[in-house]
Amino acid sequence: MNWIGQPLSAGDLTQLFDGKPARASVSHHMQRLTKLEAIELNEMPTKRGIADVRYRLAQGPRNGR
């Protein structure tokens, strides 16, 4: 994400890697990375009534880590 210079969604990352791995797999891992505080939710713009969740790298250590 850092070398792209903007927040990315699971769909964005899937497209960058020509659809492999599947979007569902990328989404699952991004949710896990959010729980680990490695990435954080940035924005949720709406596309045709569907939330497009975008993430960015965490801005620094959390909880004293």
Reply yes or no on whether the pLDDT at 63 is more than 70. Answer: no
Inside any domain, residue 65? no
The reported pTM is 0.72
Inside any domain, residue 24? yes
Strand-pairing partners, residue 56, are: 40
What's the total number of domains in the chain? 1
| Nearest alpha-carbon partner for 13 in 63, 60, 61, 56 | 56
Tens digits of residue pLDDT in 20-55? 889 899 999 999 999 999 999 887 777 777 777 899
Strand-pairing partners, residue 39, are: 57
Show the domain range for 45.
10-49
Inside any domain, residue 26? yes
Inside any domain, residue 30? yes
pLDDT greater at residue 40 or residue 65: 40
Inside any domain, residue 23? yes
Inside any domain, residue 19? yes
Reply yes or no on whether the pLDDT at 65 is more than 60. Answer: no
Inside any domain, residue 57? no
Q: How would residue 61 be classed by pLDDT, with cut points 50, 70 and 90?
A: low
